[in-house]
Amino acid sequence: MLCRFTSRALLVMALSLGVSAAAQAATTKELRSRGKAILEEKCSRCHAVGTRDLSPLKGAPPMRTIYGRFAPKELRAEIQEGMVSRHREMPQIDFSDEDTDAIMAYLYALALRK
C-alpha cells in the first residue's frame, strides 16, 4: 500500500512540475514579447531592436548588444533610470519594475541568440 501511495504521489508531483515548467515557459515568452514591444515603442526610433537589423540612428548601438555591455544588476539599474545617455537627443524614460523585467528578459533572449 505504501508503494502505491508513493508512486501516485511521485506521479502527481511530476505532473505538477511539468505544468509549472510549461506555465513558466509561456510566461517567459509573454515577458519577452512585452519587452520587445516596449523597446519597439520607446527605442526603435534610434536603436535596432531585432536580431539582425541596423540602428536607424548611426552610432546608436543595436539593443542586441546592450546585454553584453553591462553586468545584469547594472543594466537593470540603467534601464530603470532610463539609460542615461552620453547624448542630449536620447529621451529620459523611467521604466516601471514590470517594464524593466520584460526588457531584461528580451535583451537576455537576444544575447543568447548571438
- Give the DSSP per-residue string, 31-80: HHHHHHHHHHHHTTTTS--SSSPPPSSTTPPPGGGTGGGS-HHHHHHHHH
**Euclidean distance between CA atoms 83 and 75, whole angstroms:** 8
Task: Residue 60: give the domain boundaries.
Answer: 35-114
Instruction: Dump pLDDT digits (tens) for 32-65.
Output: 999 999 999 999 999 999 999 999 999 899 999 9
Does residue 91 lie in a domain region? yes
Tell me, yes or no, whether 16 lies in a domain. no
In a domain, 7, yes or no: no
Does the residue 20 lie in any domain? no
SS3 82: coil
The residue ranking higher by pLDDT, 67 or 24, is 67
Comparison of pLDDT for 5 and 92, the residue scoring more: 92
Rounded to two decimals, the pTM is 0.74
Number of folded domains that form the chain? 1
Positive or negative CA dihedral for 32, 46, 74, 67?
A: positive
Is residue 3 a part of any domain in this protein?
A: no
Q: 81 and 52 in contact (C-beta within 8 Å)?
A: no
Confidence of residue 22 (pLDDT cuts 50, 70, 90): low
Percent of the chain at pLDDT exceeding 90:
43
Assess if residue 72 is contained within a domain.
yes
Q: Report if residue 11 sits inside a domain.
A: no
Q: Is residue 15 part of a domain?
A: no
Supply the angle between the helices 2-42 and 97-113 in degrees, to the nearest 10: 90
87 conformational bin, left if phi > 0, alpha if psi -120 to 50, beta if neither:
beta
